[in-house]
Structure 1
Amino acid sequence: MRMNPAMALGACGFSLIAVCYGFARFAFGLFLPQIDSELALSASLSGLIAGGSFLGYCIAILLSAYLTERRGPRFVATAAALVAAVGMVGIATAATPVWLAVAVMLAGSSTGLASPPMASAVAATVRVSRQGVTNTVINAGTGAGVVMTGPVALLLGEQWRWAFAGFAIVAFALAAAVALSVPGVVKSEQPTGAGLPKLTGALKRLIAASFLMGAASTALWSFGGQLVTLRLSGEGVDVGTLWIAIGAAGLTGAFAGTWVARFGLDAVHRFFLALLAASIVMVGMPGTTSAWTLGGGLLFGAAYITLTGVYLIWGVAALSDRPAVGLMVGFLTIAVGQTLGAPLFGLLMDHVSATCAIVVFALLALAPGVARAGRVNALSEAAR
């Protein structure tokens, strides 16, 4: 049975996000021990790679929103798949640490390119009542990508080059599918020269909420492995297992649009912020167990992916005539929050205690709940 254009777009977008986030960006962390043993990465270079990946993401998402309005979503989405593929070819063939650093930055930047054109394509292809659902299904591709990398890492072990070569082949094939499924020029976008959006109250609250959530999420994205080692050393749970749990639960984020349409954006936002805070406590507090840690990973995956879906809906609704830019505002601010949150968590761990860091970041996870979506929430209720 032939899929209608909206279904084809959703499937293609889900796959694009899975490849760019799961393979091109997050798989590097899973294979880092094997890569380090072969290329002898220094701590300073590892830090440079991490910083370069963040910088690449920020530049790419700004460029993506700009190009989507001027060249159309097909061009930018196809470019995202190709950039991911070329970057992963670079990782697979890296002969030196510097070569690897450049390749990781290139591959990771594909995540910044991928999301804005999909938001624009959905706005042009899918009826208004289904746009929130479609956008959040696409966004949940992150969880699928993360889940798929875990078994690959376990099966291939030291053969990390073959793993990234395989990931690159998938990305090249996906570029062809994207070119066939994603619309080209979208007439509803603002004309060239539209410039930066006006900072309305809805956008200001979105920026504050997404920044705080992004900062809080680094407790597990950046320090989950250290916390597992600190609290559960020798008890059989490793960061790979936690990672698979996070990715599997992240698939539930596909229902974010359905939940927002049924319960309203503010209610969904606050509920999953509470789950995010609970997940940080379950993984990081003294006395935690393997079961609590895995449960915390499941809650974290569901909460994080759902919350990114909430901010996607929020941004697109706040800038309904410029959906690519609306998505960019929330996602860029999450990344900025993450880059500032990680060093803060590290400072608290080093100079106070891990328990203090966990308590502070659990409270930080609850803080965005004071930001009301306002008119955006009313729009989500009207779409029920």
Structure 2
Amino acid sequence: MPGIRAGQEARITYFQSLSAAGFAATAISYGPGRMGFGLFVPAFAATFQLNDITIGLISSLGFGGFFLSLLAAQVLLGRKGPEVPVLAGLASATLGMGLVAAATALPVLAAGVFFASASAGFAWTPFNDAVHRKIRDADRPTALSEISTGTSVGIALAGASALAMVYAGVSWRVLWAMFALAGAGALVANRAALRQVEKSDEAPHPGSWRALCDGAMAPMLAAGFALGTSSAIYISFAGRHFAQAGGVAGLPAAATPGAVFLCFGIAGLAGLLTGRFRSMLGLAPLLRLAMLAGAGSLALAALLPGSWAGLAGSAALQGVHVMVTSAILAFWSERLFPSLPTLSFTAALLATAAGNILGPAVAGAVSDALGMTVMFLGAAVIPGALGLALRGRYVREHPVRPG
């Protein structure tokens, strides 16, 4: 039938265009935007004379921008549809990266990190709404996994650029200027893809937030907080930690952070298979494995920082932890609250952002007092304990409120 065929073609078009647009948005905002400070910490520390406490505070400031932008994105989504918050996020990324590239004083660097990291809060959650309304149910986990895994490509490319900085003698300022240009390009592409997605009917009123007050949310919020705390600590300190340990055989110490984030991003492509893993294993076992991967990553960073096995294994496990857990939160929230897909996902990411803010600030103080090894081992306890505690009866998947 012509009408049915046209509808199927429209769904395929939306699947392709929204997946590609979301992939580009997350690649920029969650790649160099959210991860870039930690990747370039050794260069920033040398230029601006940063210690562990200052690094932790700037990182937490950036993640504070992420927290605030999550709330702003929800308001903009209800009033303007997904296009406006996504474009605001990519504009924030472009501005923040440009400020970092031009920074000659610490306050300007901190402001750039704030705006660059804030882009991630604006640019991801609106895609949950667009995907929920424009893509059929069977394809949503795949689309959401593809969108979230844009982060992996962004991180891997940022890591490769950091390696180029060392081997080709490229200034970190030039690289951040290139990141800003990439943000502007993603902004133009997303404007074209999201123009036809209408305004959401999911308004963020108090009744909507109250609808999320269900026991089924508790495991999701705990997973989000554990992800946020452990990943922010890793992002902020791992590259510098491996470099300070002397690097690994055959790799200059200055190139170590780039190698860490390159391995992180490549391994994170496992997030593309999250939907398939869930079908094979079930949600609770998959989430448990993702949390234990995060714990193993931090433990390897603490215990084997001077070997390729420690660096590659730690970075790869962190990539799997971050990307698989992120994809889980995206489709788990949509499954639990099909009538509030974006608000429920925002709630999960607010828990992540709370961990993002708390983790680096505390870790910087612990590292300054007790050393990096103790700090990383302590951080490993957070996802490790949750992974061991998770049981199937706590991880509910069927809808809390019918959509």
1:2-151 equivalences under 5 Å are 4-35=13-44, 37=46, 40-43=48-51, 46=55, 48-151=57-160
User: Which residue in the other structure is 1:247 paired with?
Assistant: 265
Shift of 1:195: 4.8
User: In structure 2, do the counterparts of structure 1 residues 169 and 247 end up closer, same or farther at CA, with 3 Å as the change threshold?
Assistant: same
- Aligned match for 1:276, one of 273, 294, 297: 294
Q: How far off is 1:231 after superposition?
A: 4.8
Is the Cα–Cα contact under 8 Å of residues 73 and 121 in structure 1 kept in the other structure?
yes
CA distance in 2, matches of 1:280, 1:47: 17
Q: Does 2:311 correspond to 1:293?
A: yes
| TM-score normalized by the length of structure 1 | 0.87
Cα 1:29/1:117, change in 2 over 3 Å: same
Task: Return the alpha-carbon distance in structure 2 between the equivalents of residues 103 and 223 of structure 1.
Answer: 19
Q: Note the C-alpha offset of 1:337.
A: 1.6
Shift of 1:292: 3.1
Q: Which residue of 1 aligns with 2:225?
A: 211
Letter of the structure 2 residue corresponding to residue 81 of structure 1 = L
CA RMSD of aligned residues (A): 2.9
1:161–1:283 Cα change, 3 Å: closer
Match of 2:4 in 1: none
Give 2:180's aligned residue: 168
* 1:130-152 deviation digits (Å, cap 9, x = unpaired): 21221121111111001111222
Hey, what does 1:265 align to over in structure 2?
A: 283
> How many residues were matched structurally?
379
5+ residue gaps in structure 2?
1-8
Structure-2 change in CA distance of 1:231 and 1:127 (3 Å): same
SS in structure 2 of the partner of residue 201 of structure 1: coil
Displacement of 1:61 = 0.6
Q: Cα offset for 1:122?
A: 0.7
What's the TM-score, normalizing by structure 2? 0.83
Aligned equivalents of 1:177 and 1:203: distance in 2? 34
Give the secondary structure class of the aligned counterpart of 1:280: helix
Ranges in structure 1 where 5+ consecutive residues have no aligned partner: none
Task: Identify if the C-alpha distance between structure 1 residues 34 and 356 changes in structure 2 by more than 3 Å, giving closer, same or farther.
Answer: closer
Identity of aligned residues (%): 26
Q: Could you tell me which residue of structure 2 aligns to residue 328 of structure 1?
A: 346
1:310-342 deviations in Å (ceiling 9; x for gaps): 122222222221211111111121121233233
The aligned counterpart of 2:5 is none
Shift of 1:129: 1.6
User: Do residues 189 (structure 1) and 208 (structure 2) align?
Assistant: no
Counterpart position of 2:384: 366
Structure-1 separation of matches of 2:304 and 2:101: 39
Q: In 1, distance between residues paired with 2:35 and 2:288?
A: 27
Match of 1:318 among 324, 336, 342: 336
The CA distance in 2 between the partners of 1:45 and 1:362, in whole Å, is: 22
> Aligned in 2, Cα 1:351/1:84: closer, same or farther, shift over 3 Å?
closer
Name the structure 1 match of 2:6. Answer: none
Does residue 358 of structure 2 align to residue 340 of structure 1? yes
Change (3 A) 1:229 1:163: closer
Separation in 1, partners of 2:247, 2:49: 25
Asked if 1 retains the 8 angstrom alpha-carbon contact of 2:265 and 2:319, the reply is yes
What SS class does the counterpart of residue 124 from structure 2 fall into?
helix
Change (3 A) 1:42 1:378: closer
Conserved in 1, the CA contact under 8 Å of 2:248 and 2:306? no
Q: Describe the SS at the equivalent of 2:209.
A: coil
CA distance, structure 2, for counterparts of residue 79 and residue 346 of structure 1: 31
- With 338-347 and 148-157 compared, the bigger mean Cα shift is at 338-347
1:172–1:267 Cα change, 3 Å: same
SS across alignment from 2:339: coil
Q: Per-residue CA shift, 1:109-133, capped at 9, x if unaligned? A: 1111011111111111111122122
Q: Secondary structure at the match of 1:196?
A: helix
The change in CA–CA distance for 1:45 and 1:19 in structure 2 (over 3 A counts) is same
The residue aligned with 2:215 is 201
Alpha-carbon spacing, 1:361–1:50, altered in 2? closer, same or farther (3 Å): closer
Q: 1:52 to 1:218 in 2, by over 3 A?
A: closer
C-alpha deviation, 1:217, in angstroms: 3.1
CA 1:217–1:34 in 2, change beyond 3 Å: closer, same or farther? closer
Q: Verify the 8 A CA contact 2:64 2:353 in the aligned structure 1.
A: no
Distance in 1 of aligned mates of 2:54 and 2:374: 29
On the 8 A contact 1:144/1:248 being kept in 2, the answer is yes
Query: Within 2, Cα distance between the matches of 1:287 and 1:52?
Result: 27
